[in-house]
Structure 1
Amino acid sequence: MKHTRGRVIEVTSVEELDRRLDAGARSLAGWRLVGLDLTAHGPALLDRTLAQSLFLGCRFADGVADEIRDAGGVVFPEVPGSPVDPYRATLYAPRELYDTPRYRDSLDARAYAWTQGCVGADDMLARALHDHAVDEALEGWTAGRSIVGVMGGHALRRGSEGYAEAARLGHLLGRTHTVATGGGPGAMEAANLGAWMADRSGAELGAALSTLSATPSFEPSIGAWARAAFEVVDTYGPGRASLGIPTWHYGHEPPNPFASAIAKYFRNATREAILLEICNAGIVFLPGAAGTVQEIFQDACENYYADASSVAPMILVGREHWTRTLPAWPLLEALAAEREMQDHVHLVDSLDEVRALVAPGL
């Protein structure tokens, strides 16, 4: 497929390239060719104007890459040793990351192992290029969507009432919004599950929760945990689109298979900023620990300095948790006082209260 933004033309298939060349294109200025096998296209390319063209991870016949550079094109070669495609044009699908029967052999596990190895300049370049490519793919995926975030702890176990509540929240929000989470286990998985099953009945969601409860945690076996999720996917799919934005920085947190699109990053700081930024319909914060607290105040900082048109709602669920266990609410309330965000921060206890704030028509 291709994505066209102004003068930038992104070409990610040989068929698309051939179609454009056959239509008479004489200049590749502004073209970005990604991951193509161009070993048979040397003569056709070199017969065109190549100044301001960009080739990312493409393969060429001997000497052609140098000729393209001499003609004004920019060539970024494949990065040796990288388990991921640094120039990918799409977000990950769950089965792309879980691509082998044993988790330890999967792309997800291989990518994490790669981050723990010896880090050279080529490795760092590959990771930076990969995260930039995910940024661009995510920009295209989110365009035009009303996105509500659900944040919460990774330790919440399947079979618990908290997990079921998070799933019911996702089920509610997924009817009117695209649900985005941090893409990991626990509350994140539950919210993605509920959103993915938004077109199914509450009874079917309950049955899926029962199936999952037999494998309550990704410890000690990520493989068993993922297989239980894929059993639900195969039973009730296809589901509604939802988004997960996890990171290989936390290698102990596997991505959950209920996020139909996964924007997985190497840099956690980038991932955190992007996750909060895309939630244009607001964020619901379920009980969590340090990571969730960080997200609350990172989001609060954005709202604190925003004008009225840019403030997005913040809903903290669990009065006891956010006023006594981890008293984030008093500080958030104090920050919001007399700011544009003041009427957009809420502390609630029930799904009905969340519904009234985020999806009042339901």
Structure 2
Amino acid sequence: MTNESEVYRKGATTLRGRHVPATTTDQRLLDQSQDTDWLHTDPWRVMRIQAEFVEGFGTLAEIGPAVSVFGSARIKPDSDYYAKGVELGRLLADAGYAVITGGGPGAMEAANKGAFEAGGTSVGLGIELPFESGLNPYVDLGVNFRYFFARKTMFVKYAQGYVVLPGGFGTLDELFEAVTLAQTQKVTSFPIVLLGKGFWTPMINFIRDTLYAEGMVGEKDIHRLQIVDDPAEAVRIITSDGENLGATRPE
């Protein structure tokens, strides 16, 4: 049995035996010769994570009604999908919604551009990635994140719904996280609109013909995803849902 004199307490943490540190927290704080490894330890990361949530909450709390728009960073400015993204952003701004994107190029830039040029609020939630070049020039309210999960919380918490343009793994990640939140009733009124029938129909067919057929999802889960080709129809679904049901955000 360990002697009480051999117990070391560091805040809420109790340490014994080989876990007892050779120096105290104050000693390490004041030691001029210390290295910077402490910047990368998990307890310090908690403070960074907390700071990201505080910054995100403080920045976005008063943007008003908003819609998160997702899609590939690889969509080119001369593509039909880019044009639809611009139109979507414009129509959302005209309807009184702020447009929230990941702040990058491609589909994100398109939606931000449409909102920006229409005089709406154009929000970009950037993420630290080795191959990203920062926020696109059409973002007038931007927050950069280190952690995906902090950023994802902002996409849902401050949006009345999602509109998803064609995209890859990142886009699918955001899409299915939203579907899961709706399925588990973490959000109870949250329209999810897929823009681009030709792109999204094969995925819906897989969900219906395989997932549903095998009993992996319910019929209601399939109907959570609404596919359209027209940006105006996407906005109509968002605004209709907002008028009739209201959007319940996670607290």
TM-score (norm 2): 0.69
Cα RMSD (Å): 3.1
**What letter corresponds to residue 274 of structure 1 in structure 2?**
T
Deviation of 1:158 (Å): 1.9
Three-state SS of the structure 1 residue aligned to 2:159 is coil
Structure 1 runs (4+) greater than 6 angstroms displaced: none
Whether the aligned pair in 2 keeps the contact of 1:196 and 1:259 (CA below 8 Å) is yes
Whether the aligned pair in 1 keeps the contact of 2:70 and 2:101 (CA below 8 Å) is yes
Whether the aligned pair in 1 keeps the contact of 2:161 and 2:190 (CA below 8 Å) is yes
Whether the aligned pair in 1 keeps the contact of 2:86 and 2:112 (CA below 8 Å) is yes
Pick closer, same or farther for the CA change 1:267–1:249 going to 2, 3 Å: farther
Provide the C-alpha distance between the structure 1 equivalents of 2:185 and 2:236, rounded to a whole number of angstroms: 24
Three-state SS of the structure 2 residue aligned to 1:149 is strand
Q: Deviations over 1:125-162 (max 9, x none)?
A: 77654443232122133325211010000011223332
Matched, 1:301 2:219: no
Pick closer, same or farther for the CA change 1:159–1:192 going to 2, 3 Å: same
1:1-362 correspondence to structure 2 within 5 Å: 120-123=37-40, 128-144=46-62, 145-175=64-94, 176-199=96-119, 240-271=120-151, 273-306=152-185, 310-324=188-202, 327-328=203-204, 330-331=206-207, 334=212, 337-339=218-220, 344-359=224-239
Three-state SS of the structure 1 residue aligned to 2:73 is coil
Q: Deviations over 1:70-91 (max 9, x none)?
A: xxxxxx99xxxxxxxxxxxxxx
Q: Percent identity?
A: 27
Aligned length: 202
Whether the aligned pair in 1 keeps the contact of 2:56 and 2:154 (CA below 8 Å) is no
Which runs of 5 or more residues in structure 1 are unaligned? Answer: 1-68, 70-75, 78-118, 200-239
Deviation of 1:174 (Å): 1.4
Which runs of 5 or more residues in structure 2 are unaligned? Answer: 1-25, 31-35, 243-251
Pick closer, same or farther for the CA change 1:189–1:126 going to 2, 3 Å: farther
TM-score (norm 1): 0.49
Provide the C-alpha distance between the structure 1 equivalents of 2:81 and 2:136, rounded to a whole number of angstroms: 17
Provide the C-alpha distance between the structure 2 equivalents of 1:279 and 1:250, rounded to a whole number of angstroms: 27
Pick closer, same or farther for the CA change 1:131–1:190 going to 2, 3 Å: farther
Deviation of 1:275 (Å): 3.9
Pick closer, same or farther for the CA change 1:270–1:140 going to 2, 3 Å: closer
Q: Deviations over 1:305-357 (max 9, x none)?
A: 007x7230000111111123xx1564289477454x66543111112311321
Provide the C-alpha distance between the structure 2 equivalents of 1:134 and 1:151, rounded to a whole number of angstroms: 21
- Answer 1 or 2: higher relative contact order, Cα 8 Å, separation at least 6: 2
Whether the aligned pair in 2 keeps the contact of 1:170 and 1:190 (CA below 8 Å) is yes
